[in-house]
Chains A and B, each alone.
Chain A
């Protein structure tokens, strides 16, 4: 597999952007460009922002080879986990806020048609124009036409997942319109011709030294003596984008919330690039997924508490903008709202998976996920990585086989989890991601039923062996040979196919010296078994309550009480 700048894997089916399009600074000429320019050259952008690259297991295996990536991610995610835990801990009614947030979102989904119509009515009443887009292409077409109608060929953009999802920048580039990303992390990603790897901090896979290199090579106007101090890097971005902000005629944004009963749109941000885009240009185009509507203005009191603390781990993000249509004399005098479906109605049609639409894009689930922390966002092959991406991406691409296609990389995403439950615990709107993952896994398995697979063959063989005592005894004897393979280490590290599918990523312990049946046969004959074995707690499994299991030494007398199993569901942000 060929590698891109700073070691990122090249994505299958990818293409590069035309030169000098979508790069605010054009080709860099400052120090460092010579060394890095070859590496920059072949960094691709995928054609499908919701489906690129290999299946998750393959992509994860490749990503795990990248020690720099793992170091960067471990550092960044542990920083944000600590910050989040601290600011969530100081809110006495956090759980009540989560309950409210979850219930509001459930209500939104139930009343979505009415709320969308109400939002539309109120935006129009305040001088805005509302457009509807069935899919990514239609949304991109609408935006491109609106930009062209203003006569400009460049726009400034606020970071937006919706426009990432539609591949808007690439679509605009194809129409000769340059879209300048203005969020610092998006700028880093855009300058490096990279792909985002995190919902909130798309360049989380880059450390400060890499960011400095990217700026020096690609920004064009980066100071040659730029250091890797974050503050200096931020200042370089400020200087670089200043002119673009002050002269921009058209801006494109997403929206965190759209309030149905007032027509108010909300953008939550940190740097002020959002305010620049939402305030200075003459025309503002906002692309919003249809699930982002909230019923009432006062519902914002819930989400504006949940989102910042979950997302950047701050009590409040530095800047939040709220606007309602057009305000004469203040801000853009032309406002367009594009309401985007793009697979959301397929998610909505699924009563179990629907909750994925409750997501407010805080990214807390990414930051606590042990899988995400090790493989990074690119392995998920979607602009929505991490636990939420693992349930959202397959569902958003249902119509093109994302849930059930045997060869579809998206169908492998529900398996990108250890089901540890940390994502559910931190989710500010209580999306039960583990349960949805299990449900999607079941459907993926169901979809594959009837196909001849190695798994199916193995299960058939196991069934044949295990349904007959004699055959099973023979198999147990045969398994003893594994001790020879394992050797003195007591671990089997490589097996021939098809068993290599197991040993490729894990060791197999050597089989026990004695089988259970041998042990049972040879066990010492106790004259008087204990009359009254300790009764285990009531909801022990039926198996453990089986009197046959009340053998001395087997009864789990001192087992932990139920619900206190440290192996599952107890791993919050302190993990």
Chain B
């Protein structure tokens, strides 16, 4: 008997029933928890909660009225960066104020940079899929304006542009939105990388980007 059949047979024996009598018990799960928050998606109140959480994680938060202002902020943040990795679908306008000293390093699924090349880059700029206010979480789902998972991991500085209309209040709201494409590789980011492994005290900055800048931009 294969290990697969053996394990499945053991599971069935443990449950004391045959394969054909599967109970459909899923209907009995009580879901009295909040499926959405009281703050409307994209509302100034939801954005305020997000900002509060991000600051608590020691992420840096910036506000932009539109693409031109995003570009100015990106230019300022990357003033000292010699190179910046960008995903293929990033809004070009966001990079329009980059200094002459900053080389743009393009990365794409069909033209990926190696881990070492990414390690030599100083920063990365991406968009985001959705942000969760209650938990201060930004979710990337690998679409062209966010790029491969590796590009937001290896460079030490991540500039992430979140449109305010992408902000939802609760985890369930975000999960249901993401459920439209569960196959996309996701990274949920809540502040810069951190550890609580030494005496259970939180320390920011371990293997992931040690600096996280979030630019909250009003939708066009």
Contact = CB atoms under 8 A, between A and B. Distances in A.
A96 B33 contact: yes
B195 A330 contact: no
Interface in A252-311: 259, 262, 264, 270-273, 275-276, 278-280, 290, 295-298, 300-302, 304-305, 308
Contacts of B41: none
B19 A327 contact: no
Given A100-B30, A345-B14, A349-B14, A298 B176 contact: yes
Contacts of B13: 345, 349
Contact of A270 (B7, B136, B196): B196
B7 A339 contact: yes
A298 B179 contact: yes
A234 B208 contact: no
B196 A327 contact: no
A494 interface: no
Interface stretch (B66-74, B76-84, B91-99, B182-190): B182-190
Interface stretch (A201-209, A419-427, A509-517): A201-209
B206 A238 contact: yes
B33 A262 contact: no
Q: Is the interface of A mostly helix, strand, loop or mixed?
A: helix
Contacts of A168: none
Contacts of B12: 113
Interface in B169-185: 171-172, 174-176, 179, 182-185
A290 B14 CA distance: 13
Contacts of B197: 183-185, 188, 201, 203, 271
A526 B131 CA distance: 77
Interface size class of A (residues with CB under 8 A): 35 or more
B40 to A, nearest CB: 18
A138 interface: yes
Contacts of A104: 29
Nearest to B147: A330
A316 B132 contact: yes
A129 B86 CA distance: 32
A76 B194 contact: no
Contacts of A271: 193-195, 197, 206-208
B100 interface: no
Nearest to B3: A132
Interface in B1-32: 2-4, 6-8, 10-16, 19, 22-26, 28-32
A551 interface: no
Given A271-B208, A318-B189, A324 B182 contact: yes
A80 B201 CA distance: 8
A215 to B, nearest CB: 11
B199 A75 contact: yes
Given A107-B29, A318-B192, A132 B198 contact: no
Contacts of B154: 246, 280
B119 interface: yes
A210 to B, nearest CB: 10
A230 interface: yes
A110 interface: yes
Contacts of B203: 230-231, 234
A280 B199 contact: no
A201 B196 contact: yes
Contacts of B30: 96, 99-100, 103
A103 B29 contact: yes
A116 interface: yes
A235 interface: yes
B53 A315 contact: yes
B207 A331 contact: no
A54 interface: no
Interface in A71-118: 72, 75-77, 79-80, 83, 92-93, 96-97, 99-100, 103-104, 106-107, 109-114, 116-117
Most buried by A among B153, B189, B196: B196
A348 interface: yes
B32 A96 contact: yes
Interface in A196-237: 201, 203-204, 207-208, 211, 230-231, 233-235, 237
B176 A302 contact: no
Given A79-B199, A201-B200, A319-B189, A348 B29 contact: no
B208 A331 contact: no
21 contacts: A93-B34, A100-B32, A106-B25, A112-B11, A132-B7, A188-B197, A203-B197, A204-B200, A230-B199, A242-B119, A272-B207, A280-B150, A298-B176, A304-B175, A305-B33, A316-B136, A316-B137, A319-B208, A321-B186, A329-B112, A345-B14
